[in-house]
Amino acid sequence: MKFTKRTALRGEITVPGDKSISHRTILLGSLAEGMTEVHGFLQGADCLSSIACFQAMGVTIEREGDTVRIHGKGLHGLQAPTQPLDAGNSGTTTRLMAGILAAQPFTSTVTGDASIQKRPMKRIIIPLTQMGANIVSIRGNDCAPLRIQGMPLTGIHYQSPVASAQVKSAILLAGLYADGETSVTEPYLSRNHTELMFRAFGIPIHCEGTTATVHPTEHLTAQQIIVPGDISSAAYFIVAALITPNSCITIRNVGINPTRDGILEVCRAMGADLTVEPLRREQSEPVADITVRTSALKGTVIEGSLIPKLIDELPIIAVLACFASGTTIIRDAQELKVKESNRIDVMTRHLTAMGADVEATDDGMIIHGGKPLHGAVIDSHLDHRIAMSFAIAGMNADGETEITGAECVTISYPDFYQDLKRL
């Protein structure tokens, strides 16, 4: 797909449903008793992988556009899958589902695409094994495919070395089946959608600081859930409006959960003209309309507890930093290396190819902004966030930018290019 310079992006847009929340509706809806109805479900390939995996365990899940109905089987109603469970490209499906599979009275195998088979799973194997699970990386490399033999589980208190909602959620889901309480403490608070949705489904959960504690329960009550727009998808339009001359975009109905809104904090620190108008709450998740105008930006430092609040936005933030005056430093973000691609390496190499002044560090990037970008051929590495980030960069570069593997946006935002074109 090819991109050339644009000006004056204008109009309104509603981005698709939040990916993290959509996944969790399938997991908890499957374990609940009764029918959970979800509106605004993300129809991206990752969330469809979660649906397929639970269908393979006997759960009836119907989908009509972005409405999904999950006929829950109860905590003890899943059936042994007859084939390996295929999580596709989805780390969230793989890791969260492993927490549930660890406690089932059957053995299952979880696998996924080439990218998933390279992503680290030791981070969930260690705590789930401490709880009593029997999980084996079939190739012995601590990656998928994983063979998971369900076992009776014991509650643990786990001090996680990483701020990862996927690790935290895998443990909390396993904790639903443990004898006694299970808690997870993380170095910084990661997204808390699991905790909020546990509460909605009637699961006893207590959160204090960076510790979440769950108590086993017998019943989950089916819910009606409205999924807000994904701030991680909104981020591309926020940055597009900020850096494309003479632009003004309103993004409607965006989830602004405080564990996810780091992009807004960074934009404000850089001097962005950005208005956030809070709307009613969609159940426990806060929602807002966001209006963004072209702005003169300055560099900033992004580190520490802010990192988990914008981890998926760092590729597009790196693009943003190229258009700010001065230096932007991103540190404490080594997790970027183990996402769908090594995002420190891929962003640094490709932004450099476009003429930017970017240096990779062990835990982030240093970006000296203000150098004009020019077109280049960009390999997405089949990473949806890389493809979308370079579409926005390409629209603000001289000459032509070609993105190969551009179709990978179907993972989280199937209509991304159409929506961009419309603006």
Give the footprint of ligand S3P on this chain (CB under 6 A): 20, 23, 92, 164-166, 169, 190-191, 311-312, 335
Measured CA to CA in angstroms, residue 74 lies from 33, 36, 356 at distances of 5, 12, 53
Q: Which is nearer to ligand S3P, 46 or 379 (CB)?
A: 46
C-beta separation of 201 from 34 below 8 A: no
Count Cβ neighbours within 10 Å for each residue of 341-371 and write b for 16 or more, e otherwise. Answer: bbbbebbbebbebbebebebeebbbbbbbbe
Clarify whether 86 is annotated catalytic.
Answer: no
Least spacing, CB of residue 187 vs ligand S3P, in Å: 12
100 is written with which tokens? 């549930």
What is the enclosing helix (H) or strand (E) of 226? Answer: strand 224-226
Q: Which is nearer to ligand S3P, 19 or 350 (CB)?
A: 19
Least spacing, CB of residue 415 vs ligand S3P, in Å: 19
Task: Return the residue matching tokens 């769908």.
Answer: 340
Choice among 46, 230, 289, 312 that is catalytic? 312
How buried is 257 (Cβ within 10 angstroms: 0-12 exposed, 13-18 middle, 19+ buried)?
buried
C-beta separation of 131 from 152 below 8 A: no
CA distance linking residue 111 with residue 90, whole number of Å:
10
Q: Which is nearer to ligand S3P, 197 or 222 (CB)?
A: 197
Least spacing, CB of residue 21 vs ligand S3P, in Å: 8
Q: Which is nearer to ligand S3P, 311 or 330 (CB)?
A: 311
How buried is 161 (Cβ within 10 angstroms: 0-12 exposed, 13-18 middle, 19+ buried)?
exposed
**By beta-carbon distance, which residue lies closest to ligand S3P?**
20
Q: Which is nearer to ligand S3P, 195 or 289 (CB)?
A: 195
CA distance linking residue 288 with residue 103, whole number of Å:
38
Least spacing, CB of residue 173 vs ligand S3P, in Å: 11
Least spacing, CB of residue 100 vs ligand S3P, in Å: 14
Is 9 in a helix, a strand, or coil? coil
* Residues annotated catalytic, as ranges: 312
